[in-house]
Amino acid sequence: MGDVQGLVLHPRILAAVRKAKLHRHEEVLRFSPADLERLTHLSAKDVGHLVREVSEAVRQRSHAATALQLLLGDCPAELKVKFLSLGCPVLDEFLRGGVPCQGLTEISGESSAGKTQFGLQLCLTVQLPEEWGGLNAGAVYICTEDAFPSKRLTQMAQQFPTRGLVPVQVTKKIRFSDQIFVEHTADKDQLSKCIQSRLPILLERGVVKLVVIDSIAALFRGEYESRETARRAKDLQSLGAQLRKVSQKYSVPVVCINQVSAVVGKRRGNGNISRLTLRK
């Protein structure tokens, strides 16, 4: 961001800001108006004028867009949300484009509802060129409970070119099974270590652009006693923050697969996570 002294402000205001050692735009916007009054000894009117000028300078320098512009795609390219296709036009339309490439997506459902099938399907579609809904890269599949379903993946990879959604000349160039990296983690500490150390190596090289975890909930079922609800929630929140950081830093979709059971009660949501619930 720019220098506050470059703004068109009264010399008295500029002098007060300089004396308070607030040099950059972000340093001014970090404080509330009341804090700025206390730091600069300026009146509320002067502080209001200062904040408006700084905010306008930041707005002009940034590529801002409204929520409607983001929804319609009428915004700068760097603000447009990219999506990974699920390989099914109906589901892509239902999800308004597919799985978002930034943020966490949870696929939940009862046992044998097809959750793992979705994860494997995404591992195939991510390898397609971008013009066909993919990201032209591989995937990391992290298993925490069951063994990786390699036989099922092989069957899906063999059938994928025959579905007619993508030209054969495109799919025949891709060796689907060779670009899926499998990791097994037995507890949350191993998963955290994988996310922080091993996963970034592949992401920084651009080798993979999809992370699938099957599943996170399994790690938190048996590691805590009933009285440790608060610690479990804290650890789960910390793990979620790590995954969001990875997704935002590398612009890759992170998909978490979780098994759920029917429970009568209020439904709670999290606006930071996209959810797709499967039912048999």
- Residues 98, 217, single domain; the answer is yes
pLDDT score of 123? 95
- Residues 57, 89, single domain; the answer is no
Specify if 71 maps to a domain.
no
- Residues 103, 235, single domain; the answer is yes
pLDDT score of 278? 67
Specify if 69 maps to a domain.
no
pLDDT score of 78? 64
Structure tokens at 186: 């037995």
Question: For the chain, how many structural domains are there in total?
Answer: 2
Q: Please report, for the domain that includes residue 10, its CATH number.
A: 1.10.150
pLDDT score of 82? 87
Q: Please report, for the domain that includes residue 157, its CATH number.
A: 3.40.50.300
Separation of CA 87 from chain center = 20
pLDDT along the chain (280 residues), means of 10: 85 94 91 94 95 89 73 70 89 89 88 88 94 94 90 91 85 89 91 92 94 86 75 87 92 90 50 62
- Residues 268, 155, single domain; the answer is yes
- Residues 29, 113, single domain; the answer is no
Domain end position, chosen among 61, 91, 106: 61
What range does the domain containing 11 cover? 4-61
Please give the Cα distance from 277 to 79 (Å, whole number). 28
Specify if 25 maps to a domain.
yes
- Residues 51, 149, single domain; the answer is no
- Residues 102, 50, single domain; the answer is no
| pTM of the model as a whole | 0.70
- Residues 57, 100, single domain; the answer is no
- Residues 167, 246, single domain; the answer is yes
- Residues 26, 97, single domain; the answer is no
Residue 191 half-sphere exposure toward CB, CA atoms < 13 A: 26
Burial class of residue 27, CB neighbours in 10 A (0-12, 13-18, 19+): middle
- Residues 40, 111, single domain; the answer is no
pLDDT score of 228? 75
